[in-house]
Amino acid sequence: MSTASAPPLGRTVGHGALAGAVAGGLGAAALSWLVEPSIRAAIAIEEAGSAHEHTAGPVHDHGAEALVSRSEQVVLGLVTVLVVGVLVGIAFALVHRFLGSRLPGRTTAGTTMTLAGLGFLTFTLAPALVVPANPPAVGDPATVDLRTVTYLGTIVCAVGLAALVLGVARSGALRPGTRAVAAVAVGVVGTAVLVAVLPHAADPIPANVPADLVWEFRIASLAQLGLMWLALGATCAWLGQPRSAPVSRAEHLVRA
> If residue 111 lies in a helix (H) or strand (E), which one and from where to where?
helix 108-119
Candidate segments 34-42, 51-59, 174-182, 190-198, binder of other proteins by CB under 8 A: 34-42
What is the rounded CA–CA span in Å between residue 229 and residue 178? 31
What is the rounded CA–CA span in Å between residue 2 and residue 96? 17
Please choose, from the candidates 134, 129, 254, the residue with its C-alpha nearest in 3D space to the C-alpha of residue 200: 129
State the nearest-atom distance from the C-beta of 118 to other proteins, in Å.
Answer: 14
What is the rounded CA–CA span in Å between residue 235 and residue 67? 37
Please give the distance of CA 247 from its chain centroid, rounded to a whole number. Answer: 36
94 or 186, CB closer to other proteins? 94
Residue 131 interacts with other proteins (CB under 8 A)?
yes
What is the rounded CA–CA span in Å between residue 31 and residue 39? 10
1-20 residues near other proteins, rule: CB under 8 A: 1-3, 6, 9, 12-13
38-97 residues near other proteins, rule: CB under 8 A: 39, 66-68, 72-74, 76-78, 80-81, 83-84, 87-88, 90-92, 94-95, 97
State the nearest-atom distance from the C-beta of 61 to other proteins, in Å.
Answer: 16
Burial class (CB in 10 A: 0-12, 13-18, 19+), 6: exposed
Name the residues that contact other proteins, by CB under 8 A.
1-3, 6, 9, 12-13, 31, 35-36, 39, 66-68, 72-74, 76-78, 80-81, 83-84, 87-88, 90-92, 94-95, 97-98, 124, 127-128, 131-136, 139-141, 144, 147-148, 151, 217, 220-222, 224-225
